[in-house]
């Protein structure tokens, strides 16, 4: 399941006059986005020289106003994708421009911090799409063969199969950790059952339970 949230905020890099050469200001944009996992993309317009910036530094904090630990140092272009963010967190970014050409020995010719941008990540990722086309084959004795297809555009770690008696509201997980998209159930005889399947889907560095598949109903003689 693909989705995205984009927030664009303008920043400016202000020149620091304590060191030479002075680095001109540049405009910086920050955008938050998510496909499978959250990320924050930082981009900016190249400063106008002379002297021109030879690199860019990006900083990130978790408190408004800093401190800002270094996120990426001396990037060759004014762009960076922060893929180490987490759902439910808020981050604060600043950037600087650097000029290393003709910089005095022992000095750091870096602009002052830009104004701050805030990136608020969603509380959680989207619920992954469900397994599809759940079907039940011919019941032999009280063996119920179940087959389904993997969720579309999802990375599946394992499946979970659920069963409930007909007209009962509560689902019971009857098996978990199935790697293949099929299962042979052996429920008690002389009853009507309903089945559904969910998947443990890889989302970033963790597994998230998907939405439920379609429901199939089976008569067990």
Position 5 scores a pLDDT of 35
Distance CA 195, CA 166 (A): 10
How is residue 211 written in tokens? 């939405």
Instruction: Give which of 155, 213, 221, 206 is closest to 183, Cα–Cα.
Output: 213
Does 51 sit behind a cis peptide bond, omega within 30 degrees of 0 on the bond before it? yes
Distance CA 81, CA 75 (A): 11
| pLDDT in single tens digits along all 221 residues of the chain | 333 333 333 333 433 333 344 454 555 666 766 555 678 888 776 666 667 788 888 999 999 998 999 998 888 888 888 888 888 889 998 888 888 777 777 776 888 787 788 888 887 777 888 999 999 999 998 899 999 999 988 889 999 999 999 988 899 999 999 999 999 999 999 999 999 999 999 876 778 899 999 999 999 99
How is residue 78 written in tokens? 């004014």
Task: Report all structural domains of the chain as residue ranges with CATH numbers, in order of start.
Answer: 9-120 (2.60.40.10), 132-220 (2.60.40.10)
Position 119 scores a pLDDT of 87
Distance CA 208, CA 124 (A): 10
- Other beta carbons less than 10 A from residue 50's beta carbon: 10
- E strands along the chain, which residues? 9-12, 27-34, 38-44, 55-61, 70-75, 79-82, 90-98, 117-120, 132-136, 144-149, 156-165, 172-178, 182-185, 191-203, 206-209, 216-220
Among left, alpha and beta (phi > 0; psi -120 to 50; other), residue 35 is: alpha
For residue 43, list its beta bridge partners. 29, 79
- Other beta carbons less than 10 A from residue 101's beta carbon: 12
With 0-12 / 13-18 / 19 or more C-beta atoms within 10 angstroms meaning exposed / middle / buried, residue 170 is exposed
How is residue 51 written in tokens? 């002297």
Residue with tokens 């469900």: 130
User: Would you say the pTM of this structure is higher than 0.85?
Assistant: no
Position 46 scores a pLDDT of 64
Distance CA 27, CA 7 (A): 16
């Amino acid at each position: 399941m693909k989705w995205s949230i984009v927030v664009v905020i303008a920043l400016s890099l202000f020149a620091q006059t304590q060191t030479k050469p002075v680095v001109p200001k540049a405009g910086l944009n920050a955008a938050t986005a998510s496909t499978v996992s959250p990320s924050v993309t930082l981009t900016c317009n190249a400063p106008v020289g002379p002297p021109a910036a030879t690199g860019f530094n990006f900083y990130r904090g978790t408190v408004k106003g800093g401190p800002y630990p270094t996120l990426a140092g001396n990037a060759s272009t004014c762009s960076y994708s922060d893929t180490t963010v987490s759902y439910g967190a808020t981050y604060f970014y600043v950037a600087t421009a650097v000029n290393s050409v003709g910089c005095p020995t022992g000095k750091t010719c870096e602009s002052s911090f830009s104004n701050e941008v805030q990136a608020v990540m969603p509380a959680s990722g989207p619920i992954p799409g469900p397994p599809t086309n759940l079907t039940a084959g011919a019941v032999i004795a009280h063996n119920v063969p179940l087959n389904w297809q993997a969720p579309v555009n999802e990375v599946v770690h394992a499946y979970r199969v659920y069963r409930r008696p007909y007209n009962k509201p509560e689902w019971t997980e009857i098996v978990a950790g199935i790697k293949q998209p099929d299962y042979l159930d052996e429920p008690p005889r002389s009853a009507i059952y309903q089945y559904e399947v969910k998947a443990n889907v890889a989302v970033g560095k963790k597994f998230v339970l998907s939405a439920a598949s379609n429901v199939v109903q089976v008569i067990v003689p």
